Amino acid sequence: MQLTSSSIGRKILMAITGQAMVLFAVVHLLGNSSIFGWLNGGINAYAEHLHSLPLPIIVGFRLALLAMVCVHIWFGIQLTIENRGGRPQQYAVKSTQKATFASENMIWTGSLLGLFLLYHLAHFTLQVINPETAALKNLVPLHNEMVPNVLGMVVTGFKNFFVSFIYVGAMVTLFLHLSHGIQSFFQTMGWSCDKSQPLLVKFGTLVALGLFLGYVTIPLTIFAGILKG
Amino acid sequence: MSDHKTMTLTLIVWRQKNASDAGKFETYTAKNITEHHSFLEMLDCVNEDLIHTGKDPIVFDHDCREGICGMCSQVVNGAPHGGQERTTVCQLHMRKFKDGDTIYIEPWRARAFPIIRDLIVDRSALDKIIQAGGYTSCHTGGVADGNAILIPKPVADEAMDAAECVGCGACVAGCPNGSAMLFTGAKVSQLAILPQGKGEAAARVRNMTNTMTECGFGNCTNHYECMAACPKGINVKFIARMNREFMKALIA
C-alpha cells in the first residue's frame, strides 16, 4: 500500500491528519469562545447543544478524531525514528539556515501535546481531575431545563494557577507545533510554488499565533478575575 | 603578488582511512593563504606541505573547479559547500575568511553516503535513484525537427530550472534527515514538466521515491535546509511538484 508504506504517502497521511486536527482546533476555539457570552446562555448552552446532537454523530465524530490522532502519532514516531537514522553521525559544527526550533522539535512538541490531550480529556471530558466541580454533577437552570454547569467547572479550574499554567504552556507548545505544521501541510499536498511557499510559512505562523492567543485568553481572563463564573 | 597579505588558518579536518575506520578530526595549519585562493586551492597548499613532511594528504573530491560539475563535496563549518549562496565549495574563496580563523571541514554525512576516505563519500545512491526512472524511453525515431513538439517558453524554463541540479548531494548533506527529496524532486520534475516525460510520470515518481527509501535516505519533513544548501538554487517547489505527481500516480 503506497499510502502507508512509501515516504511521500506517509508524509501525506501526516499532513491530512494534522490538518484535520488544526480544523478541529479552530472549531473548538470558536465553540469555546461562547464563554465570553456571544451565545445566549454562554458555554453551558453550547455544551448542551453539542450533547443533544444524535448519538451516532457524537460517537462517529469522536472515533474519527481518535483515528486522526492515532494515525498522526503512529507515523510521526515511525518517521522520526527513520529520519534520525538518515544521518547517523552529526556534524561537529551545527549550522542551520532554514530549519527552526519548531521544525526540529516536532516529535517533542507533539509528544507534549499528546500528554496535554490526555490531561485535557481527564479534566473537562471525563471530569476526574476535580470531581467536585464536575459539570455533569452540578446542574444549573438554562432555558427552563437543568444542564451541566460547564462554566463553573472551567472557571473553578482556571482559578488554580497550576491548571492555568499547564494550559498556557500547552498552547505555547501548540503554537510551536503548528507554526511548522500548517505551512508543511500545503507543501506536502503540493499546493505551493516558489512565490506562495514563503507566504504560506507566514500564514501558518499567523494561524498558529491566532489559535494561541484565542486559547490562552480563556484561562488568562479567568485567572485575572475578568471573566467570572 | 608579494604585497598581498597572507592568512594563517587552523583547519580541523575529518580523516578516515576507509568506510570501516572510525575516523577522527586532525588539526592542521594552512599558511601563506591569500584571499584569491579558492577553498580547494587552499587545501592543495596544505596537502603539499603534508606530502613534503611525508604525511598522507587530505583526500577530497573535485573535478571542474568551476562550479559546474558537482563533484566537490565538503561541509565547511557545518554548511554544505560553505554556506555561500549558490556556490560550490570549489568556487568559495578565501576572501570569505579572516586571518586566524578556525575552519571545520567534514564530509557529507548521511547513511546513504558511506565515506570512502577522508572527505570523499560514495554518492552512487543518487545514480540508483536515476536508474529507477530518471529518464524517458520514448522512441524518437530519426533526427526530428527541434520544434516539432511545441513547448511554451515558461514551461521549458521551468524544466530547465529543475534540470540545473548537478547531483552533488548537498541537499542530502544539509538535510537533518539525510533525505534526497530535493534531488529526486528536481529529477522527477524536469521530466514531468515536459511532454516527452509525461507518459512515464506515474511509474517514475513511484520507482524513484521507493528507490530513495531503499538506498537509506530519510524522509522529508519540510525543513528546507536542502534549498539553502543547494549550489544551483533548486527550489523546494519541485518537492511540492513531486508530491503532486505522487498523488496523481496514487489515483492512476
Q: Which grid coordinates belong to B85?
A: 549562496
- Measured between beta carbons, which residues in chain A are less than 8 angstroms from residue B106? 91-93
% of chain B exceeding 70 in pLDDT: 98
Average pLDDT over residues A176-201: 97
- In 3D space, the residue among A44, A45, A14 whose CA is nearest the CA of residue A151 turns out to be A44
Average pLDDT over residues B71-90: 97
Q: Which grid coordinates belong to B148?
A: 516539432
Asked if the model's pLDDT at residue B139 lies above 90, the reply is: no
B219 and A10 within 8 Å at the Cβ level: the answer is yes
Average pLDDT over residues A130-151: 89
The per-residue pLDDT for range B178-208, each reduced to its tens digit, is 999 999 999 999 999 999 899 999 999 999 9
Average pLDDT over residues B82-91: 96
A190 and B241 within 8 Å at the Cβ level: the answer is yes
B79 and A99 within 8 Å at the Cβ level: the answer is no
Nearest CA in chain B to A197: B237
- Measured between beta carbons, which residues in chain B are less than 8 angstroms from residue A192? 237, 240
- Given pLDDT bands bounded at 50, 70 and 90, which one contains residue A228? confident
Mean pLDDT of chain A: 95
- Given pLDDT bands bounded at 50, 70 and 90, which one contains residue A127? very high
Q: State how far residue A92 is from chain B, nearest Cα, in angstroms.
A: 7
The per-residue pLDDT for range A93-111, each reduced to its tens digit, is 999 999 999 999 999 999 9
Selected for mutation to probe chain A from B164, B219, B238, B241 (highest A CB count within 10 Å) is B219
Looking at residue B3, its pLDDT comes to: 57
pTM, 2 dp: 0.95
Looking at residue A133, its pLDDT comes to: 87
What region does B111 belong to: left with phi over 0, alpha with psi -120 to 50, or beta?
alpha
What region does B167 belong to: left with phi over 0, alpha with psi -120 to 50, or beta?
left
Average pLDDT over residues B121-145: 91
Cα distance between residue B147 and residue A84, in whole Å: 48
List domains and CATH numbers for chain B: 7-106 (3.10.20.30), 123-137+150-251 (1.10.1060.10)
% of chain A exceeding 90 in pLDDT: 89
- Given pLDDT bands bounded at 50, 70 and 90, which one contains residue B144? confident
Looking at residue A223, its pLDDT comes to: 95
- Given pLDDT bands bounded at 50, 70 and 90, which one contains residue A1? low
Q: CB of B212 within 8 Å of any CB in chain A?
A: yes
Average pLDDT over residues A36-65: 94
Q: Residue B78 is nearest to which of A94, A98, A188, comparing CB atoms?
A: A94
- The CATH code for residues A2-85+100-223 is 1.20.1300
Asked if the model's pLDDT at residue B101 lies above 60, the reply is: yes
- Given pLDDT bands bounded at 50, 70 and 90, which one contains residue B142? confident
Looking at residue B5, its pLDDT comes to: 86
The lowest-confidence range among A74-78, A133-137, A215-219 is A133-137
Looking at residue B2, its pLDDT comes to: 52
B237 and A82 within 8 Å at the Cβ level: the answer is no
Average pLDDT over residues B112-133: 98
Asked if the model's pLDDT at residue B99 lies above 80, the reply is: yes
Cα distance between residue A26 and residue A22, in whole Å: 6
Looking at residue A91, its pLDDT comes to: 97
- Given pLDDT bands bounded at 50, 70 and 90, which one contains residue A130? confident
The per-residue pLDDT for range B20-46, each reduced to its tens digit, is 999 999 999 999 999 999 999 999 999
Asked if the model's pLDDT at residue A214 lies above 80, the reply is: yes
Question: How many contacts (CB atoms, under 8 Å) link A and B?
Answer: 141
Q: Residue B227 is nearest to which of A79, A92, A98, comparing CB atoms?
A: A98
Residues 96-135 of A with CB under 8 A from B: 96-99, 103-104, 106
**In terms of C-beta density within 10 A (0-12 exposed, 13-18 middle, 19 or more buried), how is residue B132 classed?**
buried
- Measured between beta carbons, which residues in chain A are less than 8 angstroms from residue B213? 6-7
Looking at residue A210, its pLDDT comes to: 98
Cα distance between residue B174 and residue B75, in whole Å: 9
Asked if the model's pLDDT at residue B163 lies above 80, the reply is: yes
The per-residue pLDDT for range A9-20, each reduced to its tens digit, is 999 999 999 999
ipTM: 0.94
